[in-house]
Structure 1
């Protein structure tokens, strides 16, 4: 096919995006400009979001550091709400619940959620604690995630659902492999299964803890559990 014929084909089947005189049509150019603008805005939005997240993480971390001493001192109600806690300079000290609610998307916010859940659980408010443990469960920090699972398990125990609690404790143990936390999780799972009347499952977990973590407090507790069940380690 000659070049002339080829050109004829192009001219007889013009692209709808080109004007007769060649080049893109005005409507297509406007479309490309709009698309380019959207991309630029999206990229700017990503940078803005990352910057905002960094700023919020920093704010949450500072807020958590100010209220944490009360939590560690066992002043749980004050730690939750920061009521009657004096300002630091001109800045108000906020409680764990505020940090968890306001900064829930940050790592520090999820840690605050775990701490708030623990406070509420100890204060006998399992139903109020549960949503905070659920928030903390989404943390990227494995120790916070495990703590959240244990907290949810404790809430199940509080409600008398020992089988549900046992499953959550066992899940926490599985997630906690090589963290140094799994022995207690499996022990608590065994105890919960025992309370639920599942002797077989309780025995399996007690045996696992006694054999794998020999010499630890958890192993001693597991051996006591086996004795209660009338089982012995081979």
Structure 2
């Protein structure tokens, strides 16, 4: 009898459908609370994600508006006001600290670093530049190079050289990579790392033969090879 019932399920689609529907209803009845909880969690996640996105968009617009005056002060070389604000408008530091999770707040880290570097506050500049992260080809490499500048001013020459090389290797290109490599070579030379400096200069010569920096790279390479041999 059991065998006949099984054959009926195989040969009779209606019987199979009834069994499946009945099983599904039974599963739903037995696990109703669990299923409701899952659906509520999914709905909450979707709504929460949407609200977070909307909130980030709003905060990003606020950050852009807050940065407007600070950008003006930076262009005018009013560094103190660009960094800390003017009493009525926020400076880059406040925007970066308050809106750091937004795109505009992230960019404020970069501008704060630039302004602080120009103002001679090298460690503060380094802190903000390290907080800046971007997929942009030019800006991220530039941020690494500026971190190198800050380290050079702080007397950390080898750290500076590493950052210049990091800038050079970030989506390397014929326009900016040779410039960053030159800075790396100078930093290594000032740290008495003559052999390493010669290697960096040689990379400019071999990898970027059409770069304006090549002639200087050849002279600096020869000088560092001689210094290395004399050690």
Choose between structure 1 and 2: higher helix proportion.
2
- The answer to whether the Cα contact below 8 Å between 2:195 and 2:224 also exists between their aligned partners in 1 is no
Are 1:63 and 2:66 matched, yes or no? yes
* CA distance in structure 2 between the aligned counterparts of 1:219 and 1:75, rounded to whole angstroms: 37
1:180 alignment partner, SS class: coil
Are 1:23 and 2:19 matched, yes or no? no
CA deviations over 1:105-151 (Å, ceiling 9, x no partner) = 22222221111112222222222222211111x22323221122112
Residue in 2 that maps onto 1:121: 117
CA deviations over 1:169-212 (Å, ceiling 9, x no partner) = 10110104137321211111111111111112211222333451
- The answer to whether the Cα contact below 8 Å between 1:152 and 1:168 also exists between their aligned partners in 2 is yes
Pairwise CA distance, 1:224: 4.6
* CA distance in structure 2 between the aligned counterparts of 1:169 and 1:191, rounded to whole angstroms: 10
- The answer to whether the Cα contact below 8 Å between 1:199 and 1:229 also exists between their aligned partners in 2 is yes
Residue in 1 that maps onto 2:142: 147
Distance 1:114 1:224, change over 3 A: farther
* CA distance in structure 1 between the aligned counterparts of 2:69 and 2:142, rounded to whole angstroms: 21
- After superposition, the CA RMSD in angstroms is 2.6
- Unaligned 5+ residue runs, structure 2? 10-24, 227-231
Equivalent positions of 1:19-58 (< 5 A) are 23-24=26-27, 28-58=31-61
- The answer to whether the Cα contact below 8 Å between 2:112 and 2:128 also exists between their aligned partners in 1 is yes
Distance 1:134 1:27, change over 3 A: farther
Pairwise CA distance, 1:215: 5.4
2:63 alignment partner, SS class: helix
Pairwise CA distance, 1:227: 5.2
Are 1:182 and 2:208 matched, yes or no? no
- TM-score, normalization by structure 2: 0.79
Are 1:74 and 2:74 matched, yes or no? no
* CA distance in structure 2 between the aligned counterparts of 1:79 and 1:175, rounded to whole angstroms: 28
Distance 1:66 1:191, change over 3 A: same
Aligned residues: 208
Please, which moves more after superposition, 174-183 or 33-42? 174-183
